[in-house]
Amino acid sequence: MDTMSIRELSGANLQEQAQAGKPLAVTNYRALIGVFLPVSADMVRRITARIWSARVSSSIEEAEQAMADAVASGVSVPLVAAIEGDAVVQTPESMAILDQLRDAFNPAWSTEEPGERPARPSLVRIGDLSAARIEKAGEGGEILAVTHDRLLVGFVIPVTPDLIQFLVEQNISRVLDNIGHGEKQFKGPGLT
């Protein structure tokens, strides 16, 4: 894995890493602050193939047909909203319709409590990516989706002390095993 300082990051660098499909360690004053995971066309194809099933395809086709039938029969869905000060205010009926649409487009959310919904990555332009922004994302448990020229080039996973502790705890037996194996090799025949 290559390492690059946050000050050296540019859209061209990240695009190059994404095209090569190589992760990148992002540092600030030589301390690891994040890991850039590139989004390549191949990765998108693999993920899409994994989640895209005949059932999802069928559901989309059914929904599109239902929408076409509703439009053909002259049915419309009135969404009423108004602006009060700096806020958009909607009627309870409009909010209910929007909630149904959100649940339809985000099926995982409809089965969970609102406070337990999965975190969405925050969209960040490469020009706005900084050590402070990565640190803030780490504190908030966010993943950053990084764009360049309005295209997604990858994700930055902030490296926090809590993440390091979690990873060590999950792999401590392997770490200890490797240490023991290394000590045996060091003490092997001909070595003292």
Residue type, 58: S
Segment of 17-31, 61-75, 87-101, 124-138 carrying the highest mean pLDDT:
124-138
Percent over 90 (pLDDT), the chain: 9
Backbone angles phi, psi at 111, to 5 degrees: -100, -5
What b-and-e string marks burial along 15-33, b requiring 16 or more CB atoms within 10 Å of the CB?
A: bebbeeeebbebbbeeeeb
Least confident of 15-19, 98-102, 173-177: 98-102
Kindly indicate the confidence band of residue 118, based on its pLDDT and cuts at 50, 70 and 90. very low
pLDDT-derived band at 42 (thresholds 50, 70, 90) equals confident
Q: What number is the average pLDDT over the span 58-72?
A: 74
Q: Tokens in use for 108?
A: 């995982």
Between 111 and 120, residue with greater pLDDT: 120
Please say if the pLDDT value at position 66 is more than 70.
yes
Distances (CA, A) of 38 to 16, 46, 89, 156: 9, 14, 39, 9
Report the pLDDT value the prediction gives residue 86, as an integer from 0 to 100: 64
Above 80 in pLDDT, residue 45?
A: no
The token pair that represents 186 in the structure block: 């060091």
Domain locations in the chain? 2-159, 160-192
